Amino acid sequence: MIKVRNIHKAFGDNPILRGIDLTVAKGQVVVILGPSGSGKTTLLRCLNGLELPQQGSIDFDGAEPLHIDFSRKISKADMLALRRKSGMVFQQYNLFPHKTALQNVMEGPLVVQKRPEATVRAEAQALLAKVGLADKADLYPFQLSGGQQQRVGIARAMAIAPELMLFDEPTSALDPELVQGVLQTMKALAEDGWTMVVVTHEIQFARDVADHVVLMDGGVIVEQGSPEAMFQNPQQALTRSFLRQIQH
């Protein structure tokens, strides 16, 4: 289980997150919705240490528990541990252009985790097969479609065996005909029991796959609940207004 408590993040005098509380159970898929500028991406980046909040805490339970209190100086060891807990899939695929799909997936386990190359190669090949790209292992990013590059990005994030998978608008940069391939890959991960936090505007994905839906606006959580509750009977006027806009 991951517990996020009272996360505050500002850039200069501009507050972005204003006291975020969120609990994610093991194996749960949490979808975060909200208008642009609501703080969704910043929250994801705080969850894996790409951004450092000024206040709040993150707790990972499990075999190797971790507690991060952002109001105090964080050790390098704890920061590295936080980043190893989660794998991030970005809007833009961020693949190394000079490396093949297989080499991109192998990079983290080889360079960061210092694991044996033969083992890493076999695992990377299996991950590419899992995302439907077994036959693309030796191709470079420029030889792949956007959807294929994004699926390599998903395999790369999985390669470090994180406890939490983070997806930041993973289909927003894709042509419409490529979106479903990425969403189907994410759905398969959910069915396999991966713990996931997904920022997206794909309402049907949220309906079909999410266990819990969160609506953010203005750096706070406006409303949260099951997909059924959020989409069929939202309690807040802001939620109703946002869902009307995005669905039409």
Longest dimension (CA), the chain: 55
- Tracing tokens 């266990």 back to the chain, one arrives at 211
CATH at 173: 3.40.50.300
Q: Are 151 and 182 in contact (CB under 8 A)?
A: yes
Predicted confidence pLDDT, tens digits, the chain (248 residues): 899 999 999 999 999 999 999 999 999 999 999 999 999 999 999 999 999 999 999 999 977 899 999 999 999 999 989 988 999 999 888 899 999 999 999 999 998 888 999 999 999 999 999 999 999 999 999 999 999 999 999 999 999 899 999 999 998 888 888 888 899 999 999 999 999 999 998 888 999 999 999 999 999 999 999 999 999 999 999 999 998 888 76
Looking at residue 75, the DSSP 8-state letter turns out to be P
Total domains present in the chain: 1
Give, in order, the Cα–Cα distances in Å from 145 to each of 90, 140, 183, 189, 216: 16, 11, 15, 21, 32
Q: Report which residue type is found at 65.
A: P
Range(s) of the domain holding residue 232: 2-247
Give, in order, the Cα–Cα distances in Å from 164 to each of 44, 49, 121, 129, 159: 11, 13, 22, 21, 12
Q: Is the pTM of this model over 0.85?
A: yes
Looking at residue 54, the DSSP 8-state letter turns out to be S
